[in-house]
């Protein structure tokens, strides 16, 4: 059962859910259920699985299908489930989209294919072919730091004309780019523009953005829901208060250890402190060593006490 008509624009906080693993590298189904309940009880407006935060590029197809099926089962129609289907192979994107539809997902999300060097015309063709051949609505996913291909503003405008392409998630952390998107889509209120970096959530919502795909909402979903609501209500005093907490997470949790993967290491390890998942990762990522983990626990405890007081 779909709880949201796909003709109604999706708004709010859509956490990019981490993928729980056990010590053997298998998808931790119990962890998936606990995390889903944690997110829904925190008031989030949807869940996005198999994105960058979900380590999609390190999962095989069987693991992806297992996660899709389990997530949709545990959500049980209470909020929309968005499924990442990014692949370098068009047929792979299509096949996973069909599986997501059969499992009960609301929409799919796809970043540009990330191996071949392509231009904007080829990117338009790829997305058009994908949208033509899948049973669910499609969100574009701009992630140039990882794909090495940026979805130009005019490319997004052209693709928005396709009846099956309903929005764009931008993780470029480029404020000027997102403002240009918002300006160009000012007369298309049904096209959903979501920001990825949570540090930019409030400012983009204030300027008309639809919400955020905030990694920290895995940890503290209510914090990000409150920040979204404050921005939506133009409550500047509350925005300033909550933004300080969001920035504390960004500075103290996501940058611990000096790894290129510190964001994900910090996020999943902090979730393990809450007893929701295990601090396990898909290769090539690996857990913190015991000293690093203990240092993070001290940082996390201080932040959690401020947020949960």
Q: Measured between alpha carbons, how far is 294 from 300 in angstroms, rounded to an integer?
A: 10
Burial class (CB in 10 A: 0-12, 13-18, 19+), 23: exposed
Q: How many residues does the chain have?
A: 309
The crossing angle, in degrees rounded to 10, of helices 221-232 and 29-41 is 30
Burial class (CB in 10 A: 0-12, 13-18, 19+), 44: buried
Active-site residue set = 141, 169
266 within 8 A of 255, measured Cβ to Cβ: yes
CA distances from 178 to 148, 165, 193, 203 (A): 18, 18, 8, 11
Q: Measured between alpha carbons, how far is 46 from 75 in angstroms, rounded to an integer?
A: 10
The crossing angle, in degrees rounded to 10, of helices 61-75 and 90-103 is 30
* Token pair for 35: 């995390």
């Amino acid at each position: 059962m779909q709880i949201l008509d796909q003709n109604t624009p999706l708004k709010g906080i859509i956490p990019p859910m981490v993928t729980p693993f056990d010590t053997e590298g298998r998808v931790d189904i119990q962890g998936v259920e606990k995390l889903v309940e944690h997110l829904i009880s925190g008031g989030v407006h949807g869940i996005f699985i198999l994105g960058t935060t979900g380590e999609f590029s390190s999962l095989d197809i069987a693991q992806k299908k297992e996660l899709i099926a389990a997530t949709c089962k545990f959500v049980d129609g209470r909020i929309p489930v968005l499924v990442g289907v990014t692949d370098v192979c068009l047929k792979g994107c299509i096949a996973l989209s069909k599986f997501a539809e059969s499992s009960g997902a609301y929409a799919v999300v796809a970043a540009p294919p990330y191996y071949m060097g392509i231009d904007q015309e080829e990117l338009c063709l790829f997305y058009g072919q994908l949208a033509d051949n899948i049973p669910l609505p499609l969100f574009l996913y701009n992630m140039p730091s990882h794909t090495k291909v940026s979805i130009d503003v005019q490319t997004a405008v052209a693709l928005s004309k396709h009846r099956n392409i309903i929005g764009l998630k931008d993780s470029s952390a480029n404020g000027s780019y997102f403002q240009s998107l918002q300006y160009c889509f000012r007369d298309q209120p049904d096209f959903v523009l979501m920001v990825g970096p949570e540090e930019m959530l409030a400012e983009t919502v204030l300027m008309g953005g639809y919400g955020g795909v905030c990694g920290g909402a895995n940890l503290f979903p209510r914090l990000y829901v409150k920040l979204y609501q404050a921005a939506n209500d133009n409550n500047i005093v509350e925005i300033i208060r909550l933004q300080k907490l969001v920035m504390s997470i960004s500075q103290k949790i996501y940058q611990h250890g000096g790894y290129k993967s510190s964001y994900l290491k910090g996020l999943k390890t902090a979730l393990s402190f809450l007893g929701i998942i295990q601090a396990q990762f898909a290769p090539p990522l690996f857990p913190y060593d015991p000293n690093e983990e203990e240092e993070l626990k001290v940082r996390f405890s201080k932040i959690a006490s401020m947020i949960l007081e």
